[in-house]
Amino acid sequence: MPTLTLASARSPFRDEFAEELAIRPLHSGDIHASFQFRTVWGVDLLQATDPRFLRYAILPREIVCTENLTPWKKLLPCGSKAGLAVLLKSEKLFHSSYFSQAVHIRPVCQGMHCTVPSWEMRQTLNVVFDLYTSGQGKREWSMFKIKIYVDVTDSPQGELFELSPPTPLLSQAVVLGDRRTYSVYDLTDPGTFGKVRSLNLLVRWKADNGDMLRPLLHGERYVAGFGLQTGEIHTLIYNNHPYRAFPVLLLETVPWYLRLYIHTLTVTSKNRENKPSYIHYQPSKDRLRPHLLEMLVQLPPNSVTEVTVQFERALLKWTEYPPDPNHGFYVGSSVLSALVPSLVAMDTNITQEHPLFSSFFLCKEESSYFMRVYTEPLLVNLPTPDFSMPYNVICLTCTVVAVGYGSFYNLLTRTFQVEEPSQSLAKRLANVIRRWRGVPQL
């Protein structure tokens, strides 16, 4: 069932749960599926939260796998036994081009007055199923069995793909500043699936062409340079809005063993220098804390902004290297946060029913929406010492010391004796011949 409501005698607000699935067929034949689960508790779980204390932590080396999916599913009220979570099978999910899962916990207001905060937990799972790795190879995708939204904006008259069974329910929602049209399959309405108790959703692609709208803000990051002493971190920020410029906040956390030279920090857009309106930099302390760099950069419309900073690689102590030092050291991704101006007007009325995927960030203004983008993590090689050197040093020094000491000892304790030199071989031979001849010897 889509919603589970439980009354608690203490609070007038009830605990709620809602779940949703949004499907978007992409032009290349891939399917993007986004699962959203929202649990709201009507009580104040943590009485004191001071927003001045912000902690940010990142584990760039970790990869997400079934071990993370299983406890994530356990956080749902019915686990994987009922509801949309039944569809989350790890063999299918991890055979995909892109996978992302998240848990967000935050206090929310219920109603307009916000007298008692209630706590909301949102779990989202985004996955892009690749056409070819899902093993079918045909340009067809089906799933069965809640409210399911299928994005049909790209094919209003059925040119790009055909959706069956057809549904008369169409709804429009604004997602990320873009107005999109959705066909809605409401699983609570028994009319949706007729006599058969399962819904078999089939998407069949017809055409092969068409390109997608690029996202208005995205970023890339890479390491340039050669050798194991210096390097350069380049961060590229793309603004694809045709005519609006907007500011973006860039947060970079670089570990202490990449010593950044902040005097070489340059920000260029369209080959001209772009001075950031705000820079906050906290230098690193060796082995204690990393570099923290925060900048507010104004992005010109339809441009690429490049942020470069040079760094030097540090030599770590012998015991600080991980077991496989030549694999490299990970640097966490940088975070871009921005209020992106939207191409269409958005609805700021919070009391109206919105699909979950469009209502994650509350929009206060009609004309822009909040977005947070993460770049890729970096893998950087540090100069690695030769770990057999301590043994070599021991052998060499001990040999030198032993040889030196030996000679010294020898000199001190050697006793000298005077000795008659013995005759050489030639003389001895000559003496033998002389004896035989009877001539006096040498």
Partner 1 sequence: LSIRPVLSDPEKQRGRSAAVAIAALVIAAGIPLWWKTTETYRAWLPAARISELEALQLELRVEVEVVFARGTLSPEQQKKVPASRITYESCCKSKSLCLVEADHALHTLTETSCGSVVIYIIPEASALLPQDMRVYVGRSRTALLRSQVASVVGAGLPEVLAALDPQMEQVLQTMSFNHQDVTAALTDRLRPGLSTRDSLADSMRAFKSSPGYEITFSLLNPDPKHHQLHWDVEAALDAYIYPLLHKMAPVANFSVDSQILYYAVLGVNPRYDASASAYTLSADSLAHVINPVEARLGSNAASSNPVLNFLLYVPDSLHSPLIIRNDQKQEVASNAFHSPRWGGIMVYNVDGAYGNDTQFPVDIAIDMSRVMGVFLSQLRLMLGFQQTGAPPGFVLEAAGREGVAEWELDRLLWSRSVENVATASASITSLAQLLDQIANIVINDNIAQQVASAVTALQAAVAELEAGNLALALEHSREAISASERAFFDPSLLHLLYFPDDQKFAIYIPLFLPMCVPILLSLLKIFREVQQHRAEKRAKRD
User: Cis before residue 165, ω within 30 degrees of 0?
Assistant: yes
Distance (Å, rounded) from C-alpha 437 to C-alpha 440? 9
- Pseudo-torsion of CA 431, 435, 438, 442, nearest 10°? 30
User: Which parts of this chain interact with partner 1 (CB under 8 A)?
Assistant: 1, 4, 6-10, 74, 77-79, 81-82, 391, 394-395, 397-399, 401-403, 405-406, 409-410, 412-422
Torsions phi, psi of 301, nearest 5?
Answer: -70, 145
Contacts of 219 (CB under 8 A, 6+ apart): 235, 236, 237, 238, 334, 336, 373, 375
Whole-number minimum distance, CB 74 to partner 1, in Å?
A: 7
Whole-number minimum distance, CB 126 to partner 1, in Å?
A: 25
Nearest Cα to Cα of residue 355 among 171, 126, 187, 157: 171
Distance (Å, rounded) from C-alpha 388 to C-alpha 385? 9
Residue 225 structure tokens: 């340079």
Distance (Å, rounded) from C-alpha 269 to C-alpha 305? 4
For partner 1, the closer CB: 2 or 225: 2
**Amino acid (one-letter) located at 382:** L
Whole-number minimum distance, CB 419 to partner 1, in Å?
A: 6
Contacts of 94 (CB under 8 A, 6+ apart): 65, 66
For partner 1, the closer CB: 324 or 420: 420
Whole-number minimum distance, CB 193 to partner 1, in Å?
A: 18
Q: Where are the beta strands (DSSP E) in 55-169?
A: 98-108, 118-129, 140-144, 147-151, 161-164
**Greatest distance between any 2 Cα atoms in the chain:** 143
Angle, CA 113 vertex, CA 112 and CA 116 arms, to 5°: 120
Whole-number minimum distance, CB 188 to partner 1, in Å?
A: 13
Whole-number minimum distance, CB 8 to partner 1, in Å?
A: 8
Whole-number minimum distance, CB 144 to partner 1, in Å?
A: 20
For partner 1, the closer CB: 210 or 406: 406
For partner 1, the closer CB: 418 or 426: 418
For partner 1, the closer CB: 136 or 397: 397
Nearest Cα to Cα of residue 38 among 419, 353, 260, 431: 353
For partner 1, the closer CB: 112 or 418: 418
Nearest Cα to Cα of residue 351 among 103, 35, 110: 110
For partner 1, the closer CB: 111 or 404: 404
Q: Is 158 left (phi over 0), alpha (psi -120 to 50) or beta?
A: left
Whole-number minimum distance, CB 118 to partner 1, in Å?
A: 15
Whole-number minimum distance, CB 439 to partner 1, in Å?
A: 19
Is residue 287 within 8 A of residue 234, CB to CB? The reply is no
For partner 1, the closer CB: 8 or 136: 8
Whole-number minimum distance, CB 46 to partner 1, in Å?
A: 13
For partner 1, the closer CB: 262 or 396: 396
For partner 1, the closer CB: 6 or 433: 6
Distance (Å, rounded) from C-alpha 327 to C-alpha 255? 16
